[in-house]
Structure 1
Amino acid sequence: MSPLKPVVPRRGAPCWVSLLARDLKTAQEFYSAVLGWTFRPASLGDEFSVAMSDGEPVAGIGALAQNFQVAVAWTSYFAVADADDTAARIRERGATVAVGPLKLGPGRAALAADRDGATFGFWEGKTLSWSVGHGRAPACLELRTRDAFEAAIFYAEVFDWATPDGCDVTYEHEQVIVSDGTHTVATLRGGAVEAAPDPRVRPRWHVYFPVRDIEAVTAAAVAAGGTVTPITQSPEGTGVQSVIRDPDGGLFTVSAP
């Protein structure tokens, strides 16, 4: 199936990641220099673009942070059947819907924060053919929060995880693994500190982009005006990783075997 042909994503699974940036052109220049992405117009309007790598869609960049008065950040979106119903479920469980649901192109989207403050999005409608851990899509989405089990209950109730039509959930080694039935699409880990001054350890969804040469990528990020953490071994011991902050403050992680 063509990666550019719209498909119906699995309910409750991550279906896209997008950067809410202040200036579209500036953000495109940074991510092109660092990750080698090219960009094409999106169907959502002039303020959106789709990042491409080797002909595959990777992520979206939208110049919306200023419009919505939100921080520049990478946001993970989850597929839902009914955005209004999802928004109601979030509010009923003591969490926050900050923006939307809004009509955007062929679908509807909203931004929310869970009870611990980790931000996420949800999308009603078709998406590009894209899945975490496949091709040039993010290698991993990871929620770092205070209590992974409690967070998993919240997201399961909101997104119908652990139901016949939803994603599979397992609890292994003090972390929650979310699968779309074929492979892992998200991981929830506990242990974040509530009042930590470092935003990397506050509850939030982390986006990991796969790269071939992590040293070249981190050097390019610094040259383009970003900041990076030292390259370290991944928690699983299967590779190396580094956290990068783009010039506007958007955090993401790059990982390599």
Structure 2
Amino acid sequence: MNHDSTTGGAPRGEDVVSTHSVFGAPCWVSLTSRDLQATQEFYTAVLGWRWRTAKLGEHFRIALAGGVPVAGIAAVASMWQMAVAWTPYFAVRDADVAVSRVRERGGTAAVGPLSFPPGRAALLADRDGATFGIWQGDLVTNWEAWRQAAPTFARLHTRDAFDAAMFYGEILDWATGEPGCCEVEYDGGEVLLRSEGDVVARIDSGAVEAAPDPSVRPHWQIHFTVTEVPACARAAEKHGGSVLREDGEREAILRDADGAQFTVTARGVCC
């Protein structure tokens, strides 16, 4: 098995710019897929994305929103018997240190760290089984442009938000006071992650570790900003996906034709 492919389109050295000023925040998202062509058609219809080839090979594509690279797609789910899912990647200073911290705290290092010049990536799982990635190095595009172009934020549904915040905070250097680190805010039963004042991630309690429904198990949910939520929901249904929940024009939880779950949030709606 070629483990390079299992990172699902982690950022590589294509039109890179420095992102060393941001640490601990989501900096990229990737999707594993069974059918690359079908996946491209679905997300073009639902999110209006365009596509370009990736240097990783014919099974990989880079998604573009308004010309900005926003996600990596890897058609490796069937080949490597991987789950079809969206995965967030978090910027770190040192991938080796982050992976060691994950293992020390009961998490799992599934893949890596692997070298993807000009950086390194690893695919990990927290101690409740939620999958996430880390990235050390430059990105495909400017971090702020990336975040505003499509992914608004990532939300972790887990058993205990405060326990999870401690785990991720120790891995990703949250609230350390160091330049570029993220700040943590406790808001009732939620934990908010802020970067330069903006909410870039949330952690919610309530997921069940052994739930039969994958949407109830601990997992990271990716939110994408869109202009019209109902139009995205109808496009998802028309192109083989489904709507799991729809909150009027504000937000909808969708599932693509492969089964990967994601959320669309109306532009201007607070995360």
TM-score higher than 0.5 here? yes
Please, which moves more after superposition, 71-80 or 60-69? 60-69
The one-letter amino acid of 1:191's match is G
Q: Does 1:55 align with 2:70?
A: no
Q: Does 1:186 align with 2:201?
A: yes
Report the Cα distance in structure 1 between the residues aligned to 2:147 and 2:136, rounded to whole angstroms.
22
Give the corresponding residue for 1:222.
237
The one-letter amino acid of 2:218's match is P
**How much does 1:63 deviate?**
2.1
Report the Cα distance in structure 2 between the residues aligned to 1:197 and 1:155, rounded to whole angstroms.
25
Give the corresponding residue for 2:171.
158
The one-letter amino acid of 1:37's match is W
Q: Does 1:101 align with 2:113?
A: yes
Q: Does 1:11 align with 2:23?
A: yes
Matches within 5 A, 1:163-178: 163-165=176-178, 166-178=181-193
| RMSD over equivalenced CA pairs, Å | 2.1
Deviations 1:89-134 (A, max 9, x none): 1111111011111223432211111011111011111012134994
Q: Does 1:73 align with 2:85?
A: yes
Please say if residues 241 and 254 of structure 1, whose CA atoms lie closer than 8 Å, have aligned partners that are also in contact: yes
Q: Secondary structure at the match of 1:87?
A: helix
Please say if residues 123 and 131 of structure 2, whose CA atoms lie closer than 8 Å, have aligned partners that are also in contact: yes
Give the corresponding residue for 2:159.
146
Please say if residues 130 and 137 of structure 1, whose CA atoms lie closer than 8 Å, have aligned partners that are also in contact: no
Which stretches in structure 1 are left out of the alignment for 5+ residues? 234-238
Q: Secondary structure at the match of 1:135?
A: helix
Q: Secondary structure at the match of 1:200?
A: coil
Q: Secondary structure at the match of 1:164?
A: coil
Deviations 1:190-249 (A, max 9, x none): 11122322222211111111111222211111111111124126xxxxx62221111111
Deviations 1:40-89 (A, max 9, x none): 12344443322112222222212233454320100000011221221111
Give the corresponding residue for 2:148.
135
Could you tell me which of 16, 26, 38 is aligned with 2:50? 38
User: Measured at CA, do residues 85 and 156 of structure 1 come closer, stay the same or move farther in structure 2, by a change above 3 Å?
Assistant: same
Give the corresponding residue for 2:219.
204
Percentage identity across paired residues of the two chains: 51
User: Measured at CA, do residues 68 and 98 of structure 1 come closer, stay the same or move farther in structure 2, by a change above 3 Å?
Assistant: farther
The one-letter amino acid of 1:14's match is P
Q: Secondary structure at the match of 1:195?
A: coil
- Please report the TM-score for the alignment, with normalisation by the length of structure 2: 0.85
Q: Secondary structure at the match of 1:242?
A: strand
Report the Cα distance in structure 1 between the residues aligned to 2:16 and 2:193, rounded to whole angstroms.
25
Could you tell me which of 240, 245, 250 is aligned with 2:260? 250
User: Measured at CA, do residues 5 and 124 of structure 1 come closer, stay the same or move farther in structure 2, by a change above 3 Å?
Assistant: closer
Q: Secondary structure at the match of 1:229?
A: strand
Please say if residues 218 and 244 of structure 1, whose CA atoms lie closer than 8 Å, have aligned partners that are also in contact: yes
Report the Cα distance in structure 2 between the residues aligned to 1:27 and 1:19, rounded to whole angstroms.
9
Report the Cα distance in structure 2 between the residues aligned to 1:185 and 1:132, rounded to whole angstroms.
13
Please say if residues 14 and 132 of structure 1, whose CA atoms lie closer than 8 Å, have aligned partners that are also in contact: no
